[in-house]
Structure 1
Amino acid sequence: MARHVRRHRLLGMGVVALAGLMSACTGEPLEPGAGSNHSPMTQAATMIVYTPRGGPVDESDFVWLGPPENLGGRVLEGNPQIFARVDYSANGVTAGLFKATRGTLEVTFPFTEHATILQGDVTITDSTGQRHLYKPGDSYFIRQGQVITWEVKDKQVIKSFFNVVEPQEAHVTPLRSRDMEGARH
């Protein structure tokens, strides 16, 4: 009986995941020139598959993102270069591919991200010291504002990503009542 229930739950989760994927594939197309050479019409009409089993990733559409500091990074070792191909971007949500070359960075994540490694490997260490080597097929989730160390020892790592820029709350220092008293006089 337990085996039957487990299969039923997995099937249900699969249907939910498929529905989410189908919904995502009918999302807003990219604006022309938004980081991909795929035309907006083709983009909306076709599904993009990211898989570590599909052989080498076509890197022809990757764009250099500038120094790692542009994405909240600080180089700790080497001369890492970062590149991306944006396949979707709207309302603070971005998805596509990212590539980093050999080196070590400390990164304060400027967005919340779910990613899956497609090629190469990367060791990620969080601020608590938790450390993990991610290889093709492995996924991770990092929240906006988390500080991590990103270490690529081989030639490069390529990942697919889905990230969201979360609104930041304004930090307001509350006024004390005596501050208000001074303001009245």
Structure 2
Amino acid sequence: MFRRVRLHRLLGLGVIAALAGVLTACGGEQPVDGFETASTQAALGSVDTAKAPVTPMVVYSPRGKPVSEAGFIPLGAPEGLGGRVLEGDPQIFARIDYSRNGTTAGLFKATTGKIEIYFPFTEHATILEGEVTLTDETGQSHTYKAGDSYFIRQGQTILWDVKGKQVIKSFFNIVEAQ
């Protein structure tokens, strides 16, 4: 079992590498010199993690304060990202705070409108401001408000419906090998 865990970790690190460059170009962190090597060695149990580079944590939504929209960049038309606009003229934006090895984390903002989205990644997200109603292919629907979280698997098609001015979420995405 010990060898399987190590192999699984190593494969995960390799698969995730595919999107790092693209997402870094969207504003993600530049890899810290030696970080990927140190992370790989730590995952394999061959390095003291106390010596790994330290970066400060990111606080997205300090209690009682609005989310800072600094660093958001426009993502272009939803169609360019696997979406199809069904109502309105929704605008989408992101701030990438971490992007390495196919794993991405940051903030996402969408304005009023309804979009059908094919998810090219698995995502865990928490709504920070506003609200959005998500409906999956089975017809299950839920309106998410600040503090609510959801989990969507890669390959699912979701109806994303923002009724108010905008919704902001924090997200953690990973692209799974197909």
Instruction: With the length of structure 1 as denominator, give the TM-score of the two structures.
Output: 0.68
Match in the other structure for 1:148: 158
Residue from 104, 110, 117 that aligns with 2:114: 104
State yes or no: 1:77 paired with 2:87.
yes
Cα gap change, 1:164 to 1:77, in 2 (>3 Å): same
Residues 83 and 139 from structure 1, CA distance in 2 versus in 1: closer, same or farther, beyond 3 angstroms?
same
| Alignment partner, residue 38 of structure 2 | none
Which segments of 5 or more consecutive residues in structure 1 lack a partner in the other structure?
1-30, 169-185
- 8 Å contact kept, 2:24–2:99: no
Any runs of at least 4 consecutive aligned residues in structure 1 with deviations exceeding 2 A, and if so which? 31-34, 36-41, 50-54
**Would the alpha carbon gap of residues 153 and 40 (structure 1) be closer, same or farther in structure 2, given more than 3 Å must change?**
farther
One-letter amino acid of the counterpart of residue 35, structure 1? G
Among 25, 32, 35, the alignment partner of 2:27 is: 35
Match of 1:63 in 2: 73
Q: Is the 8 A contact 1:123 1:131 kept in 2?
A: yes
Task: State the distance in 2 between where 1:138 and 1:93 align.
Answer: 22
Considering Cα pairs closer than 8 Å and 6+ residues apart, tell me whether 1 or 2 has the greater RCO.
2
Task: Name the residue aligned to 1:15.
Answer: none
Q: Any idea what SS the aligned residue of 2:106 has?
A: strand
CA distance in 1, matches of 2:58, 2:170: 11
Q: Displacement, 1:40?
A: 6.2
CA distance in 2, matches of 1:117, 1:44: 27
Q: Secondary structure at the match of 1:69?
A: helix
Q: Deviations over 1:38-59 (max 9, x none)?
A: 9969x95211123373411111
1:115 to 2:107 alignment: no
Q: 2:138 aligns with which of 128, 138, 156?
A: 128
Unaligned runs of 5+ residues in structure 2 are 1-22, 34-52
Contact 1:84 1:96 in 2 (8 A): yes
* RMSD over equivalenced CA pairs, Å: 2.5
**Partners in 2 of 1:35 and 1:119 — Cα distance?**
22
Q: Distance in 2 between matches of 1:113 and 1:124?
A: 13
Report the TM-score when normalising by structure 2. Answer: 0.71
Letter in 2 for 1:63: I
Which of the pair has more CA radius of gyration?
Answer: 1
> Any idea what SS the aligned residue of 2:80 has?
helix
